[in-house]
Amino acid sequence: MARAWQQPLPDMPAPPPSAAWGRIAPPSGYEPQWRRLVDAALELDLGPDDLAAGGLDAVAQAREWKPATVALYSKVARYGGLALPLPATPEPDPVALDLRPLTLVRGEDPEHLRSVAWCALALGWPAPVGVFRSLRRDQVRVTSRRLLISTDDGEWAVPGALTAWHAWEACRNRFPALAASPWVLPALRRGPGLDSRIGGRLSSQALQATFTKHARSTVGHLRATVTPSRREAVEQLAVDYRRLSYDTYRRLALAAGAPPVTARGVVRAARTVSRSARAGRLAG
């Protein structure tokens, strides 16, 4: 376990931020995230004691980090020995949102089809991003009416995802590296890592970035194809999509009635449903 960071003794000046960070060993398994956290802190001339005292608010504001990113780096900082409070994951806002545009096939680009297949699966099987990262193709079976997903935790039937799944499978079968990949959501290009390869397993961070990119490209498509009568509704949807994360997407799917895959997020989704029901009764 990493040795906890010690606050400087009274009346003793703290070392320069770069030197102070250099005295802390990165937490095992989180070296890249630790390096990005240190770089973000040094941009604001903050040392580890400054971060421990003031939290991540200043860094998050400067980097425009979303709540899920703040939660990730808070965890990394704690693993490195900095006693930062873990921020609470915010409730979905709005509590209901039309997610279907994210599941519609509108082209043949592999990255688009991979994202559409992911969103279509997650709408009926809202697993956390880490579960999707490790989901293999042999865990998904196709029937005439739905997809069947099997994991160590059970088996789920996913309706409404066949079109997206077949489009993605047809696309990946045109590329040998993708066709041979065992992963449902494989890498489409090589990354910076030495072991990165086409068809390899993506990181959770890469999948989060993929979802954000897909949501923003969907916004562009909606604005380009909207009719004048629906322009106001599409503009509101575009605002919601631009701040949508995958974690919020899955909680909205849970709140809409999708069966839970893991315990994570189920309590918050139940609160969202109750809140929405109360609002409906008050409006009535």
- Residue-wise pLDDT for 177-196, tens only, equals 999 999 999 999 887 766 77
Same domain, 123 and 157: yes
Residue 59 pLDDT exceeds 80: yes
Q: What percent of the chain has pLDDT over 90?
A: 38
- Provide the b/e sequence for 101-116 (b: ≥16 CB within 10 Å): bbbebeeeebebbbbb
Domain span including residue 207: 100-283
For residue 266, tell me if it sits in a domain: yes
Number of separate helices (H) and strands (E) present in the chain: 13, 3
Closest CA to 93 of 278, 271, 231: 271
215-231 per-position pLDDT tens digit: 999 999 999 988 888 88
How many domains does the chain contain in total?
2
Closest CA to 183 of 243, 233, 135, 251: 135
pLDDT, average across residues 122-130: 93
pTM for the complete prediction?
0.63
Calculate the alpha carbon distances from 156 to 104, 144, 254 in Å.
22, 15, 14
Planar angle of CA 148, 208, 193, nearest 5 degrees = 105
Confidence band for 88, pLDDT divided at 50, 70 and 90: low
pLDDT, average across residues 30-45: 89
pLDDT, average across residues 75-85: 81
- What pLDDT, on a 0 to 100 scale, did the predictor assign at position 157? 92
Confidence band for 265, pLDDT divided at 50, 70 and 90: very low
Alpha-carbon gap, residue 117 to 169, rounded angstroms: 9
Residue 270 pLDDT exceeds 70: no
- What pLDDT, on a 0 to 100 scale, did the predictor assign at position 237? 87
Give the CATH number for residue 121: 1.10.443.10
Q: Is 28 exposed, middle or buried (0-12, 13-18, 19+ CB in 10 A)?
A: exposed
Residue 42 pLDDT exceeds 60: yes
- What pLDDT, on a 0 to 100 scale, did the predictor assign at position 183? 96
Same domain, 147 and 277: yes
Same domain, 126 and 227: yes
